[in-house]
Structure 1
Amino acid sequence: MSFLIRAAFWLSLVILILPADPGTEANKESLSTTDAFIAAQATLSDFTSFCARQPDVCAAGEVAIDSFSAKARYGAKQLYVYLDGQSEDIASTSETGLTQTADISQDQTLDQQQLTALVQDLKQ
């Protein structure tokens, strides 16, 4: 999760630094660097306190991001094996991947049970 936040932050900084097309209408109403920095600080402050206000939503988001990152790692590994052309290692990698998928599924089941309990508590 922190990787995505850092990537979004750095990408935003790069976009902020890039010059804009002088012929566009968007340049007529521009935001000063100071105003943009203050707005970014306020957004970051609100974002960091979000989990204190909504712990259940943060828990659900963490489960979703963990699942997504595990699937992304598994997919990247399978793509690497495919592109590398290691045919003798494919069987062992596939078995390892299947084991990882089963482990991920068990982890997700436990987390889904916990989330279901949280949702039921919220409904009451």
Structure 2
Amino acid sequence: MFFLLRLAFWLGLVLVLLPRDKTPEADKTPQISASDAVSAATATINDMGQFCKRQPSACEVGGQAATAIGQRATDGARKLYQMITDKKPPDHTGSIGKDDTDSASASRDTLTADDQTIEFRLPPMP
């Protein structure tokens, strides 16, 4: 979720900074200098720092919501980790580290006589 907010912020910033064509509508928009924009952004950030003093109940509920969301994310990550580790395939192949008690009873020569016959050979090159 935070990734999407950051993506929206940076995409919006890029769109704002793109050069525009000169149109009659563009002349009607208010002209804001860079220093005015910086001072407005600074004032907004300072005001956000004072928000919890003005609205303590909103900050308390927001903190509880953030804690609940963090707990759910932790539980989800733990469950995903358990799913991955429980269904992990063995670290070895079937032929390595296996007891020979099962393979001793099974025949290792499984080819039949028909399988071992050579069907076609090229004649030697002169």
TM range (shorter): 0.3 to 0.5
Higher helix share: 1
TM-score by length of structure 1 reads: 0.45
Q: Which has the higher contact order (CA 8 A, sep 6+)?
A: 1
